[in-house]
Amino acid sequence: MKQEIFKIQSQEKIANGVYLMKLEGNTDAITASGQFVNIKLNGFFLRRPISVCDYDKNSLTLIYKTVGEGTKEMSKYENGTELDILVGLGNGYDTSRSGDKPLLIGGGVGVPPLYNLCKKLIGEGKTPTVILGFNKKEDVFFEEEFKKLGAKVYVTTASGEYGIKGFVTDAMNDLSYTYFYSCGPEPMLKAIYDKSTTEGELSFEERMGCGFGACMGCSCKTKYGNKRICKDGPVLRKEEVIW
Amino acid sequence: MVDTKVNLSGLVLDNPIIPASGTFGYGYEYAELYDINCLGSFSFKGTTKDPRFGNPTPRIAECTDGMINSVGLQNPGIDKVIEEELPKMKECFNKKVVANIGGFSLDEYAYVSERLDKEDCVGILEVNISCPNVHGGGISFGTDPGLAAEVTRRVKEVTTKPVYIKLTPNVTNIVEIAKACEDAGADGISMINTLLGMRIDVKTRKCVIANKMGGFSGSAIFPVALRMVYQVYDAVKIPIIGMGGVSNAKDVIEMMLAGATAVQIGAANLVDPFICKQIVEDLPRVMEEYNINSLLEIIGGAHNG
């Protein structure tokens, strides 16, 4: 983990209440896809943890949803605004376990961390399939971006307005895959856990205090003992999860 | 050259800056970020006899200039703390630590204290009789002068190390509790623990914290903590470790003027993991700014006249 100052390069609304923010700054502390950053906002006591969508040496792409006052405030920040960010938090996904045909499953704002993961897996010569789940058509984002990486992409909407009608698990039926990576709301993760036929990894969300393992605010029980979502997670392996 | 040394019951600290229990783990998370030997000391995660998972999540809620936590004394238990955590801690911190002790009974406080008494790295036993997050737990000892005195006596019986009792602000008269601890032999007072608080999610109409209530901390509580330290300083002769919302070097000086001999920093660590190092570095400059040569001369300084 490092504390760095990042400068906002651009911000755009890409779906209903969902923003894509590009920042410039030192990303050396990021060691894996699926890690997150923790952003200090003026006027708010706690930092805001946001998953890393994509990064290279000097740039960071974040996608976040305006769920509360803090993220609403963040969506108003103008280009050039400097942000105090803790970078390289959490464990991230382990690409070494993916096999040849990994399945990536994201729901809502659980989609962003899978983007860099998908890029890495393709870079490693693997053939990922991606399922992106949303509630409505207006919520859908990043379908094209994943396709451009070269992944096969299925989109589901609960409303049936777009793509496959139903949940991400409805798109899993006839797929063959070697491993899965997922991120999204807990009920979705549970459904994937139950439906999946291989080992895999699930990225969890929890209300955090510090984001770096000090306060024990986001602890959970696993088959391998108590873990902190922020430090030992957010990614847990399927075999260790206790529901 | 200003002098930042302070003395807690014979334990001389290079400076009065002590990260507070529950915000600093056993130190090694922070040692990855900076050399924590710059600190005066630190108070490690509250330790109980048995391992505890703590409370259900969500355990954290945000407030204006503060936060609520309801961790519930999650810790690996005294056996693992001694076998695993303290050795790791000693690798990154070579000064004496403040051992924070939690408990649910007089016997438990005495047992954990006796175990930690044998650890050379422990400079002070800080007995938490004030955790707001455990039902039927420590809080009942902290709200009753007789029980607070009883815990103090039991711990004093099993240790030769200085015993500091950590008090809750969630009482009608904190002075009375502090005096009861002093009379029972406490070497010092640690104050204040968090204020009992609550947040409700207006959308869902439910409490944000799974346990409904939790401990409110952060810069918002600084004036309350300061006031209580000031009151207790007037009433006791033993040293006070002051805490509650301290966020910068000027707050440290203010807390010492109210009567604190040393100062703990809690919630601020969770927002800015480098804050204690920053305060240690800022302190000499801020002392010069206020014409302070030695911190020893300002303890309780606001009580003159």
Q: What is the CATH number of the domain that holds B111?
A: 3.20.20.70
What are the tens digits of pLDDT across the range A146-185?
Answer: 999 999 999 999 999 999 999 999 999 989 999 999 999 9
Work out the pLDDT band at A70, boundaries 50, 70, 90. Answer: very high
Task: Please provide residue B87's backbone torsions phi and psi, each rounded to the nearest 5 degrees.
Answer: -60, -40
| A180-205: burial string, b at 16+ Cβ within 10 Å, e else | bbbbbeeebbebbeeebeeebbbbbb
Q: Which residues of chain A does B272 touch, with a Cβ-Cβ cutoff of 8 Å?
A: 3, 40
Say if the Cβ atoms of B57 and A40 lie within 8 Å. Answer: no
Task: Please identify which residue in the block is written with the tokens 């890393």.
Answer: A52
Q: Is A78 exposed, middle or buried (0-12, 13-18, 19+ CB in 10 A)?
A: exposed
Tokens of B35: 């050399």
A65 DSSP β-pair partners? A18
Fold of A204-243: Dihydroorotate dehydrogenase B (pyrk subunit); domain 3 (2.10.240)
B63 labelled catalytic: no
Taking the alpha carbons of A228, A231, A233, A234 in that order, is the dihedral positive or negative? positive
Residue B251 lies in a domain: yes
How many domains does chain B divide into? Answer: 1
Residue B64 lies in a domain: no
Q: Does B38 score more than 60 pLDDT?
A: yes
Q: Which residue spans within B135-258 are E strands per DSSP?
A: 163-166, 188-191, 195-198, 200-201, 206-207, 213-217, 240-243
What are the tens digits of pLDDT across the range B141-173?
Answer: 899 999 999 999 999 999 999 999 999 999 999
Say if the Cβ atoms of A216 and B71 lie within 8 Å. Answer: yes
Calpha distance B32→A3 (Å, rounded)? 12
List chain A domain ranges: 2-89, 95-202, 204-243
Q: Which residues of chain A does B219 touch, with a Cβ-Cβ cutoff of 8 Å?
A: 45
Exposure on the CB side of residue A184, measured as CA atoms within 13 A: 23
What are the tens digits of pLDDT across the range B89-147?
Answer: 999 999 999 999 999 999 999 999 999 999 999 999 999 998 766 655 556 789 999 99
* Spatial contact of A28 and A53, defined as CB atoms under 8 Å apart: no
Cis ω for the linkage preceding B58 (within 30 of 0): yes
Q: Please, what is the average pLDDT of chain A?
A: 97
* Spatial contact of B143 and B171, defined as CB atoms under 8 Å apart: yes
* Spatial contact of A2 and A88, defined as CB atoms under 8 Å apart: yes
Calpha distance A182→A185 (Å, rounded)? 10
The whole domain housing B84 covers 6-54+71-194+216-303
Say if the Cβ atoms of B57 and A219 lie within 8 Å. Answer: yes
Cα separation values, B283 from B38, B39, B286, B291, Å: 12, 12, 5, 12
Work out the pLDDT band at B1, boundaries 50, 70, 90. Answer: confident
CB atoms inside a 10 Å sphere around CB A125? 7
Of the candidates A44, A208, A215, which has its C-beta nearest B23's C-beta?
A215
Interface confidence, given as ipTM, is: 0.92
Q: Which residue spans within chain A are E strands per DSSP?
A: 2-15, 18-24, 36-39, 48-56, 59-65, 82-89, 102-107, 129-134, 152-157, 164-165, 179-183, 200-203, 219-222, 225-228, 235-237
Tokens of B279: 């305060």
The architecture (CATH level 2) of A95-202 comes to 3-Layer(aba) Sandwich (3.40)
**Helix-strand-coil percent breakdown of chain B, rounded to 5?**
40, 20, 40
Shortest distance, CA B32 to any CA of chain A (angstroms)? 8
Residue B96 lies in a domain: yes
Tokens of B108: 């438990």
What are the tens digits of pLDDT across the range A94-127?
Answer: 999 999 999 999 999 999 999 999 999 999 999 9
Q: Please, what is the average pLDDT of chain B?
A: 95
Closest CA to B283 of B93, B10, B14: B14
Of the candidates A46, A212, A218, which has its C-beta nearest B62's C-beta?
A46
Q: Is B299 exposed, middle or buried (0-12, 13-18, 19+ CB in 10 A)?
A: buried
Fold of A2-89: Elongation Factor Tu (Ef-tu); domain 3 (2.40.30)
Closest CA to A46 of B226, B208, B84: B208
Closest CA to B164 of B24, B78, B43: B43
Active-site option among B63, B131, B181, B207: B131
Select from A1, A3, A45 the residue whose CB has the most chain B CBs within 10 Å, as the one to mutate to test that interface.
A45
Single-letter amino acid, residue A147: K
Tokens of B201: 């999610």
Interface residues from chain B to A (CB-CB < 8 Å): 22-25, 29-30, 32-33, 45, 53-54, 57-67, 69, 71, 74, 208, 218-219, 267, 269-274
What are the tens digits of pLDDT across the range B196-236?
Answer: 999 999 999 999 999 999 999 999 999 999 999 999 999 99
What are the tens digits of pLDDT across the range A7-22?
Answer: 999 999 999 999 999 9
Calpha distance B50→A221 (Å, rounded)? 16
What are the tens digits of pLDDT across the range B242-255?
Answer: 999 999 999 999 99
* Spatial contact of B9 and B162, defined as CB atoms under 8 Å apart: yes
* Spatial contact of A152 and A168, defined as CB atoms under 8 Å apart: no
Interface residues from chain A to B (CB-CB < 8 Å): 1, 3, 40, 44-47, 70, 86, 206-210, 212-221, 226, 231
Residue B59 lies in a domain: no
Task: Please identify which residue in the block is written with the tokens 């693992």.
Answer: B80
Cα separation values, B72 from A52, A154, B264, Å: 31, 43, 20
